[in-house]
């Protein structure tokens, strides 16, 4: 792709914004630009890397929802989150649409509020997250690994006193849909890994993920 591509031009401009914001809040606010055209390697820019992710890592759950649904919320502001080491985070995610109304990127701000909590009450509004967000995190601020995928599949099967390949069709379908919601399909080779663990074909995995 070149800068003559309108979508690429949008993301090149967003890169400038991401870098500028990140450098304004060094060590405090992680700024991530996701290229939603490439979900397996979505992270295009990461300033103030506080989550341990890197350029080329996969999209989060929010990114996958926007890819699947152009009507998904463009801006989700001030929602509670956590870094992998447990530090509390205040996050805002801004979707970037092209002229056709399709999400091609997302600019995400992850503010480390753990460093602010000892300050005076005057900072309370900065630390606070908006009411109405559900308790379950909207996304996971880390890159998923093959090991995590295997552990999740094996735990799911163990809870049902079975090996992954011995699960019945309904259980396998439930597991695949859970993995899809969790963003595991964005990781390179994940579909093949899931198919192998469950003893089914890749097309079956896709069918399980897509059908209610």
107: domain CATH number is 3.30.450.40
Q: Are residues 123 and 153 in the same domain?
A: no
pLDDT bracket for residue 120 (50, 70, 90): very low
Q: How far is CA 12 from CA 18, 27, 45, 100, in A?
A: 10, 24, 10, 18
pLDDT, residue 148, reads 79
Parent domain of 99: 6-127
pLDDT bracket for residue 160 (50, 70, 90): confident
Minimal CA–CA distance to 31: which of 109, 113, 127, 126? 109
Within-domain flag for 102 = yes
- Domain tally for the chain? 2
pLDDT, residue 210, reads 81
Angle at 52 between CA 192 and CA 146, to 5 degrees: 15
pLDDT, residue 92, reads 96
pLDDT for 152 beyond 70: yes
The percent helix, strand, coil of the chain (3-state, each to 5) is: 40, 20, 40
From CA 192, how far away is CA 117, in angstroms rounded?
A: 44
Q: Are residues 104 and 162 in the same domain?
A: no
Q: Are residues 110 and 33 in the same domain?
A: yes
Q: Are residues 183 and 111 in the same domain?
A: no
Within-domain flag for 13 = yes
The encoded tokens of residue 82 equal 């956590």
pLDDT bracket for residue 1 (50, 70, 90): very low
Q: Are residues 71 and 107 in the same domain?
A: yes
From CA 160, how far away is CA 158, in angstroms rounded?
A: 5
**pTM, full prediction:** 0.62
pLDDT, residue 43, reads 96
């Amino acid at each position: 792709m070149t800068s003559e591509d309108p979508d690429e031009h949008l993301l090149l401009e967003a890169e400038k914004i991401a870098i500028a914001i990140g450098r304004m809040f060094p060590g405090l606010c992680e700024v991530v630009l996701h290229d939603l055209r490439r979900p397996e390697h979505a992270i295009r820019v990461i300033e103030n890397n506080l989550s341990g992710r890197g350029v080329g890592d996969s999209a989060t759950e929010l990114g996958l929802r926007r890819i699947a649904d152009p009507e998904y919320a463009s801006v989700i502001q001030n929602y509670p989150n956590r870094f992998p080491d447990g530090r509390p985070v205040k996050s805002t995610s801004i979707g970037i649409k092209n002229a056709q109304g399709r999400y091609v990127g997302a600019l995400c701000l992850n503010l480390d509020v753990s460093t602010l909590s000892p300050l005076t009450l005057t900072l309370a509004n900065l630390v606070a997250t908006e009411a109405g967000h559900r308790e379950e995190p909207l996304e996971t601020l880390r890159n998923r690994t093959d090991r995590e995928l295997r552990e999740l599949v094996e735990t799911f099967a163990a809870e049902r006193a079975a090996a992954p390949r011995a699960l019945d069709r309904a259980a396998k379908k439930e597991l695949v849909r859970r993995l899809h919601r969790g963003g595991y399909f964005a990781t390179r080779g994940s579909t093949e890994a899931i198919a192998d663990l469950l003893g089914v074909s890749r097309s079956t995995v896709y069918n399980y993920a897509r059908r209610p």
